[in-house]
Amino acid sequence: MTNDVSLQSDKELRAHLHGETSKLPWTELETHFARGVLFKVAKGTDILDVAIVMSRDDKDTLKEWLDNKTIIGVEIEDAKKWHETSASLWSVVVAPFILVQEIEQKLDS
């Protein structure tokens, strides 16, 4: 697969980013938080959709999502909570940024 995202179809890019997505403990993300490169993706939003938009540098969609808080910079309150709870987060790198999303806990029926 080519590394030039402009030459990849959305399907190819999604498959690539899916392979790069993983659950990481907050302890592995803290230094990236300190560098200011973490963005939190809202619950209910597909982290891969956001990664594709960021990869394609779709400024209009990114502005809309930032304005309506679909994605936001990780805040100190998030960092404290994740540190205190030893949280793991879905994570995907879209250099130079890292997208994170809280893992939704499924309740037993």
Are residues 37 and 96 in contact, defined by beta-carbon separation less than 8 angstroms? yes
What value does the mean pLDDT take over residues 35-63? Answer: 96
Residue found by looking up tokens 């939003």 in the block = 45
- How many other β-carbons are positioned within 10 Å of the β-carbon of residue 51? 23
Structure confidence by residue, pLDDT tens digits, 55-71: 999 999 999 999 999 99
**Which distant-in-sequence residues (6+ apart) come within 8 Å of 33 by Cβ?**
74, 79
Nearest to 98 by CA among 18, 36, 13: 36
What pLDDT does 96 receive?
94
> Where are any strands of DSSP class E within 7-87?
22-25, 38-41, 71-73
pLDDT at 1 over 90: no
* Average pLDDT of the residues of the chain: 92
Band of pLDDT at residue 105, cut at 50, 70 and 90: confident
Residue found by looking up tokens 């990236």 in the block = 32
